[in-house]
Every structure is written in structure tokens, then in C-alpha cells.
Structure 1
Amino acid sequence: MSRSLVQVETPAGEMPAHLWLPEGGQVPGRGSGILLLQEIFGLSRYVESRAQDLADLGHVVLVPEIYWRLGVSAVPEGPAAMDEALGLMGRVDWEAAVGDGVAALAALRDRPEVTGGVGIVGFCFGGGLGFNVAAVSSPDLLVSFYGSAIPQLLDLAPLVTTPTLHHFGLADSYIDPETVAHVREVVEQGPDVVVETYEGADHAFDNPDLPMHHPEASARAWRTTTDYLAERLPRS
């Protein structure tokens, strides 16, 4: 595994970020870029594993520490994790986090290891953040897993013109089926949007470290995502 800690310049200072380089692919250490935006728990074990999965597919993966302004990299696992994560998310300056995401996307695109297009993959908190980042910048694609903020960001939908893939569970404890249907209705007015839904799948169904994990939905969503990236993300 090739992983390193790097810094992303922002107006407020240097934001820590973690870089995974592919060891395989056409040219080892090089490939298209993916900005991976964290779930509510920050740089969790799950986020790290998905970053490695994407690097194994041949992508250069950058994961910024979005909670850096709060002095937190990741929420410790344990019974208090959800309450702590919700507290952190409530303290996040959303506009600053969007700006940090835009800065990280630009930094990734400028890296010499990136030899193709640059996309965004976001989970939960990061899925909504990625949607907002895509509305104010120009990624080559966006993949959002159950973006929790998207229902409140639908006024930005006309600005998201990049190809987009959304995943939603239909048993989501935070985004009910009626809201998912409304999100689909709005975002599918865009030029190149795919919305995939999963019967019986709760929020965070892709995370095997949580009780909401849904193995079948997770496997199908990840297979759809890897096929989508292979087809849509430009490579050199």
C-alpha cells in the first residue's frame, strides 16, 4: 500500500489530507484522480478501506480531513461515536467545508501522479458535501452514497452538470422513500444523472462496521460504482 500524509492549501491554512497511490494499473503510482469525501465519522476505518479499494482500481485517491478546523481527524469507535459525530457535524462551517472540498479537488487535479480525469466519491455527510462541491466546481463525475444533505441542497441541482451517480436505500432512517423520490425527480432533470435505489437498505448500508450494513445492497452499489468509474472517468 502506498499512502502518505499531504497538505492542501486553504485560505485558513493547511488542511491535512491522505493520499493513496495505485500500485497496479497501466502505470504504477499514476492514474485518474478521486477525491473521497468522508462520512460523518471522519477518516474512519471504513473510509480508509474504501480509499484503498479505489486505489486498487488504479485511481489516485485523496481524502481530506474535513473536520480539521475542529481539530479532529476521526471519531473514536465505541458506543458514544454517533453522538460525538453528530455533535461535530453540527459544528461544521458548511461553506468553509465546501471551500475545503473545492481546494482539495484542485490540489488533486494538479498532482503529477494524476494522469486522467478527477472525480468525487462521497459517503453520507461526504455525499452531500460532494454534491455541493460539484455545484461550484468542475469534477469529471460525482458518485454520492446516501448524501444526507442533498434534500436540503436541491436548489443547487441545476448547477450540478457533471455526470452523477446517486445511491439511496429505501429503508433509510434519515431519508425516507418520499424524500428519495423527490430527490430523484429533481436531480434527474440534469443532463447525465443515474439514481440507484436499494430495497430494505438503511442509511450507511455500505459500511460493514455499522449495524445498518446491508451486504447485498453494498455489493451491488459498489459493483455499479466501479463499473461507472471505469466507464466514465477519463484516463490518459
Structure 2
Amino acid sequence: MSDPTKDKAQTEPRVIPQEAFDWYDEYAHGLIDRREFFSRLSGLVALGFTMTTLTSALIPNYAAAEQVSFNDPAIKASYVKFDSPKGHGAGQGYLVVPRELKGTAPVVLVIHENRGLNPYIKDVTRRLAMKGFVAFAPDALYPLGGYPGNDDEGRAMQKSMDKAKIEEDFLAAATFLKSHELSNGKLGAVGFCFGGYVVNMLAATIPDQLDAGVPFYGTPAAVDLRKNVKGPLVVQLGSLDKRVNATWPDYEAELKAIGADYTMYMYEGANHGFHNDSTGRYSEPDAELAWTRTVDFFADKLKA
């Protein structure tokens, strides 16, 4: 007698089609709604995939992705408020400091995606502290009570907010962090997706305050601001990220025209979100290489 479980495992397709990852990107960025996203996935079910397999690969599972525990004895984490007079009045973020820090250190602003300060971004912040940086990750959703615990609600909350005020909050956070008592006066910023856009925006808005920026798969700042970019920037892109990559040629042409200091790395076969180890879009070799480049870049550019 055959084993139904074994038969199912043998007949289910092993490689999820690229269009599923593209649909998730559209869904995550508000180009299609949840109903349309799952309607499209149902077409893949007809081809032999289970909905569980598809959603497990596409939707973040933060519990399985923690690299540095919040209890790690090498770091000290806390929530810290800062003033944002041009934004929402006040902001709050996750500050992580090397426990054995003596004196000051380079500071790095960590900027989340379009859904608030989720566990993945907090883990990235801890990873930076483990490398000797003072890392600070603001939560854009703080004025509404903070990240709600799930991405769908967080995404809806962030979409409901005034984008200009959110940007002012991150500008205020950058100023707060650069002048922090633990700062050596050198400010870096790394961001992912929406956070990548914010890094580009900071580079164009406060070019003399930002000493090093790393936008992961982020769109450029507004056209009228781009002429202000000085860098240095390390731009991290995945070759399968059609939406963001479509903006790169014009942005690169502008960076070249103004003599900005930048380096772009394109990771072949990598999706948007390839650094996020909580989803099936994660590409470990690309993520590790991109992260090594990021840390080395900050270590070089943020020396006192």
C-alpha cells in the first residue's frame, strides 16, 4: 500500500515559479490586494503546489530567522525616544549597543521596510551591534502605537500615515543618533525596501551629515533632490527585482553626472528582499556577501 504523504511529496513541484515571488512583491507594496494575491496563488495550486508550501515560502516567518538573540550577553538593547518637531513630534526606536563599549563608536541608523519595526529589522540592528557599532532602528509606526505584531496590519498602518512626516521622523532620528553621547560623530545608514528609499532620501537631503549609506533594493529620492547626493553609497540590488531595478538606470546616470561617490552591486538571480532571512526570497550566499560588504564599508567610512 502506497504512502499518501510520500506520494504527495514526490508529485508536488519543487521549485516555486518566479512569478509567485513577483506577485508577493506586488502585494507587499500595495500594487495588488490580499484577495488578488491569493487568487493568483490558487492558480499554482492547480499546478500541484499546496497553498501551505506557497505561503510558507513567501510570507515572513520571523521566529525562524533570528541570528542574534535579544538576550545575547554581548549587547545591550533598549527603546529610546527622540524629538521630531517637523514630523510626528516624537519618535521611538530600538537602540542596541555593544555591552563592552568603552567611549564612543560609529553609529548606524537601521531603516525598516514599509510595515514598521518588525523582528527581522531588530535582528539586523543587533547584528550591527555585535560588530561594534551603536545601531538604532526607529519605528515609523510609533505615533500609532508601534509595530502591531504582524506585517499586514503594519503595512496598512504605515500606508495610512503622512509619508512626508515619516521622512521627517527619520531625518530627526539621524540627527539624534549622530549627536548621541555614544557616537564618534560618524553616521551610517542601512535600509531595506522602503528603508532603502529612505537611505537614498537621507543621502540627498543631509549629504553632509550622512557619512555612509547602504540602500538595499530601494528606489531613489525625489528627482529635485538627487542633485545633492555626495555619497559614499553602496547600492545593493537583486537582478530579479524588476520594480526597483527599473529606477536604477536614471538614478545611476544622475549620480555619474554629479560625480557622486557610489558603488552598485547586482546579485544575479536574487529577488527583492534577498537579505531577509525570514522568507523564501532569502538568498543566503548573496545576503552574506552583501552583509560583509556593508559591514566592511561602514568600518572603513565611519572611522573617527
Shorter-chain TM-score bucket reads 0.7 to 0.9
**1:13 shift after superposition:** 2.7
Matches within 5 A, 1:137-148: 137=206, 138-147=209-218
Aligned-residue sequence identity (percent) comes to 28
Deviation per residue, 1:64-115 (Å, 9 max, x gap): 1112233332551xxxx3x444433432312111111111111112211112
Kept after mapping to 2: 8 A contact 1:23/1:58? no
Q: SS at 2:115's partner residue? A: coil
Give 5+ residue unaligned stretches, structure 1: none
Q: SS at 2:225's partner residue? A: helix
**Cα distance in structure 1, aligned partners of 2:134 and 2:102:** 10
Matches within 5 A, 1:1-236: 1-11=75-85, 12-24=88-100, 27-28=101-102, 30-76=104-150, 81=151, 83-137=152-206, 138-147=209-218, 149-150=219-220, 153-175=222-244, 177-189=245-257, 190-235=259-304
Deviation per residue, 1:195-226 (Å, 9 max, x gap): 11111111110001012111121111111111
**Cα distance in structure 2, aligned partners of 1:97 and 1:142:** 19
**1:132 shift after superposition:** 1.1
**1:118 shift after superposition:** 1.0
**Cα distance in structure 1, aligned partners of 2:84 and 2:132:** 27
Output the amino acid matched with 1:9.
Answer: D
Kept after mapping to 1: 8 A contact 2:229/2:260? no
Q: SS at 1:62's partner residue? A: strand
**Cα distance in structure 2, aligned partners of 1:212 and 1:92:** 27
Q: SS at 1:187's partner residue? A: helix
**Cα distance in structure 1, aligned partners of 2:165 and 2:284:** 35
**Cα distance in structure 1, aligned partners of 2:158 and 2:222:** 16
Question: Greater CA radius of gyration, 1 or 2?
Answer: 2
**Cα distance in structure 2, aligned partners of 1:214 and 1:194:** 21
**Cα distance in structure 1, aligned partners of 2:223 and 2:238:** 18
Output the amino acid matched with 2:124.
Answer: R
Output the amino acid matched with 1:210.
Answer: T
Give 5+ residue unaligned stretches, structure 2: 1-74
Output the amino acid matched with 2:254.
Answer: V
Kept after mapping to 2: 8 A contact 1:22/1:29? no
Output the amino acid matched with 2:248.
Answer: V
TM-score by structure 2 length? 0.68
Q: SS at 1:16's partner residue? A: strand
Higher fraction of strand: 1
TM-score by structure 1 length? 0.87
Deviation per residue, 1:121-159 (Å, 9 max, x gap): 111111101211222222111111011x32x63442211
Kept after mapping to 2: 8 A contact 1:8/1:14? yes
